[in-house]
Structure 1
Amino acid sequence: MAKGFDRTRRIGEQMRRDLSQAVVEILDHPNASLLSFTDVRVTRDLSFAKVFVTYVLEDEEERDYLVKRLNACAPQFRHYLAKRLSIRKMPELTFYYDESVEYGAHMEHLLTSLVEKAQDKDDDTSQES
């Protein structure tokens, strides 16, 4: 793998850790501590960073509101990161909701229900014998 990709990955990981610490103090919201930063993808030239977040509660309106607030506070987060990271160029931050956790939970639920149905079907056929 090219050396530049490792560097951007390390920078993204450090940004993720620092953002996790900053979210409660910058985002003035009672549920800010329920946000979790799952990934930060930084472009090779360090111009842009996509920040993926998840939210513990299932309230879709609240989730959308918090992502909008994060994007509105992006300059403050960027300033916070610039103080902590020693890189020549601080990327512009854009926050996105990461649906992979919910998708994974949904798929697990589907698989569990399929297994239960298969077990019920096996139980029914064994009782008929």
Structure 2
Amino acid sequence: MTKHRANRLAETLKEEISQLIREQLKDPRLGFVTVTAVDAAEDLSRAKVYVSVLGSPEDAKASLLVLNRAAGYIRSEIGKRVRLRQTPEIVFKYDPSIEHGAHIAKLLREVQNSGTGDSHEE
């Protein structure tokens, strides 16, 4: 039962935090950030928020710094929007999975293009 509740809370937090980042945070150092997943602890005291950042590794590092500094503000806004006895502590983590997938897709395109390129040159 607790696991189910943690999963529901994680989905709610994902939606609310995404909206807060999009509409409320106006820091110029904040890049194009996407919330990819939220992992809520079973006791609902903590939530790890995984984000993907479009841009260079420096952009990702700057965006994570901004998000972790704004975690208190985000937590208080979540407390106002979502009805909970205790609002979970929020920690932002970098999620490289989208970047990794894009890199693999690029490699596959290169392999495909090099395979078709050889037959056209002869």
Is this a same-fold pair by TM over 0.5?
yes
Structure with greater Cα Rg = 1
**2:32 aligned residue (22, 34, 37):** 34
**2:47 aligned residue (46, 49, 69):** 49
1:66 counterpart = 2:63: yes
Provide the secondary structure at the position in 1 that maps to 2:74. Answer: helix
Provide the secondary structure at the position in 2 that maps to 1:38. Answer: strand
Q: C-alpha distance in 2, partners of 1:105/1:67?
A: 20
1:4 counterpart = 2:32: no
**1:91 aligned residue (84, 88, 95):** 88
What percentage of aligned pairs have identical amino acids? 30
Q: TM-score when scaled to structure 1?
A: 0.81
1:81 counterpart = 2:78: yes
- RMSD over equivalenced CA pairs, Å: 2.1
Unaligned runs of 5+ in 1: none
Unaligned runs of 5+ in 2: none
1:115 counterpart = 2:81: no
Q: TM-score when scaled to structure 2?
A: 0.85
Is the CA contact (8 Å cut-off) linking 2:29 and 2:62 kept in structure 1?
no
Q: Which residue does the alignment assign to 1:18? A: 16
- 1:59-90: CA deviation from partner (whole Å, max 9, x where unpaired): 32232112111111111111111111122222
